[in-house]
Amino acid sequence: MLPPVEQDQTVAVLQSEYWSTVQSDLLAKRCCCMVLPDQPVTQITSVPYVVSMNAAYQLYVKKTGYNKLGAVWVDFCSSKLHYRQHAARIRQEALIKAIGVLESKATLRVLDCTAGLGVDGFLLASAGCQVNLLERSPIISALLENGLYRASQTVSLSHVMKRLSLQMIEAKNYLKKLIKQQEFDKYDVIYLDPMFSSQANTKSAVKKNMQYLRDLLPVLADIDLLALAYQIARYRVVVKRPRLSPLLNSDLIPTSQHIGKSNRFDIYSKKSLKKKN
Tens digit of each residue's pLDDT (9 = 90 or more) over 203-261: 444 566 777 777 777 666 567 899 999 999 999 999 999 998 899 888 899 999 999 88
Helical pair 208-216 and 138-152, crossing angle rounded to 10 deg: 130
Q: Is 192 helix (H, G, I), strand (E, B) or coil?
A: strand
**Alpha-carbon span 121 to 272, nearest angstrom:** 22
Q: Tens digit of pLDDT for each residue in 164-214?
A: 999 999 999 999 999 999 998 899 999 999 875 544 444 444 566 777 777
The pLDDT value given to residue 271: 92
pTM beyond 0.85: the answer is yes
What CATH number does domain 79-197+217-275 carry, 2.30.30.220, 3.40.50.11540, 3.40.640.10, 3.40.50.150? Answer: 3.40.50.150
**pLDDT given at position 22:** 96
Indicate the pLDDT class of residue 124, thresholds 50, 70 and 90.
very high
Picking from 21, 14, 56, 52, the residue whose alpha carbon sits closest to that of residue 35 is 14
Task: Describe the strand order of the beta sheet including 59-63 as a list of residue ranges.
Answer: 35-36, 11-14, 49-53, 59-63, 72-73
- In this prediction, residue 262 carries a pLDDT of 87
Beta bridge partners of 110: 131, 189
User: DSSP string of 2-71?
Assistant: PPPPPPPSSEEEEP-TTS-HHHHHHHHHHHT--EE-S--GGG--S-SEEEEE-TT--EEEEE-SS-S---
Position 204: which residue type?
S
Rounded alpha-carbon distances, angstroms, from residue 179 to 42, 111, 231, 233: 47, 14, 8, 11
Q: What is d(CA 55, CA 274) in angstroms, rounded to the nearest whole number?
A: 48
Rg from Cα positions in the chain: 19
- Give the pLDDT score at 196: 59
Cβ neighbours of 27 (radius 10 Å): 21
How long, in residues, is the chain?
277
Q: Give the start-to-end residue ranges of the domains of the chain.
A: 11-73, 79-197+217-275
Q: What kind and span of H or E run contains 131?
A: strand 130-135
Provide the pLDDT for residue 202.
46
